């Protein structure tokens, strides 16, 4: 699994490089989706910037988890079976590569730009909910590393809950407006994504600072 994850992170890093190269094209896609005027748009710039920041954070989180698990010799109960390991790899594949690639692909084509913006609304949290939940459910034991993982996964689930709350509010507003013959502005989807993305990154790093930046790394320096 470790080698597969390393290969996946390399592919995700290459994809991030492609996203940075296509920054202007992604901005154009967001502007098309929200019907913004031609030229620079602060909202479209922030949307793409937060999208890239989330991709970087996801790769960093994957590498930090593998390093932490190896140090603590932590093996989640579901990963002791072949199906569990396959599920973990699938979550990693979707979160690190498939979801960012899908957003990138949709935003580059004006016909699919709206789909790309809708995908953005769930990107900060949706691919990781099943994996975080599996880690939390499997951490209720006295084995080494399980109590620490329970704290980490609890923090992650709280962040996921905030993203779910924002998406639920957007859906309720969308249904309410649709019933009254109106339509939810797609610009509000981007604003919600930017706010949720910034909150996700800040809350994750602040709550799990030692996980992402362990003391041992500073001592080696």
Higher pLDDT: 175 or 221? It is 175
Instruction: Pick the range with the lowest mean pLDDT from 30-44, 54-68, 144-158.
Output: 30-44
Ramachandran region of residue 213, left (φ > 0), alpha (ψ -120 to 50) or beta?
beta
* pLDDT in the model for residue 15: 92
Q: Residue 115 sits in which domain range?
A: 2-220
Query: Is residue 151 classed exposed, middle or buried when 0-12, 13-18 and 19+ CB atoms within 10 A define those classes?
Result: middle
DSSP string, 83-132: HHHHHHHHHHHIIIIIHHHHHHHHHHSGGGHHHHHHHHHHTTTGGGHHHH
Is pLDDT of 39 > 70?
no
Is pLDDT of 219 > 90?
no
Percent of the chain with pLDDT over 90: 22
Is pLDDT of 37 > 90?
no
* pLDDT in the model for residue 1: 58
* pLDDT in the model for residue 52: 93
Cβ density class 12-32: b for 16+ within 10 Å, e for less: beebbeebeebeeebbbbbbb
Domain count, the chain: 1
Question: Rounded mean pLDDT of 25-45?
Answer: 81
Average pLDDT, the chain: 84
* pLDDT in the model for residue 38: 61
The per-residue pLDDT for range 105-141, each reduced to its tens digit, is 888 876 677 777 777 777 667 778 888 888 888 887 7
CA distance 131 to 81: 15
The per-residue pLDDT for range 174-196, each reduced to its tens digit, is 889 888 888 888 888 888 889 98
Question: Rounded mean pLDDT of 6-30?
Answer: 91
Contact residues for 41 (Cβ-Cβ < 8 A; gap 6+): 27, 30, 31
């Amino acid at each position: 699994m470790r080698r597969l994850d390393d290969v996946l992170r390399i592919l995700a890093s290459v994809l991030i490089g492609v996203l940075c190269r296509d920054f202007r094209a992604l901005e154009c896609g967001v502007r098309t989706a929200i019907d913004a005027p031609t030229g620079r748009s602060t909202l479209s710039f922030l949307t793409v910037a937060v999208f890239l920041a989330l991709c970087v954070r996801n790769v960093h989180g994957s590498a930090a988890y593998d390093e932490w698990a190896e140090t603590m010799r932590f093996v989640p109960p579901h990963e002791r079976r072949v199906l569990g390991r396959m599920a973990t790899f699938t979550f990693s594949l979707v979160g690190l590569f498939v979801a960012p690639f899908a957003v990138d692909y949709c935003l580059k084509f004006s016909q699919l730009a709206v789909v790309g913006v809708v995908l953005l609304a769930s990107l900060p949290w949706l691919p990781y909910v099943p994996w975080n939940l599996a880690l939390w459910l499997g951490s209720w034991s006295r084995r080494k590393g399980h109590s620490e993982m329970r704290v980490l996964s609890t923090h992650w689930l709280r962040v996921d809950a905030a993203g779910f709350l924002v998406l639920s509010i957007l859906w309720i507003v969308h249904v309410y407006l649709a019933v009254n013959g109106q339509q939810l502005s797609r610009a509000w989807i981007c604003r919600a994504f930017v706010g949720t993305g910034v909150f996700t990154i800040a809350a994750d790093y602040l709550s799990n600072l030692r996980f992402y930046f362990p003391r041992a790394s500073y001592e080696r320096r």
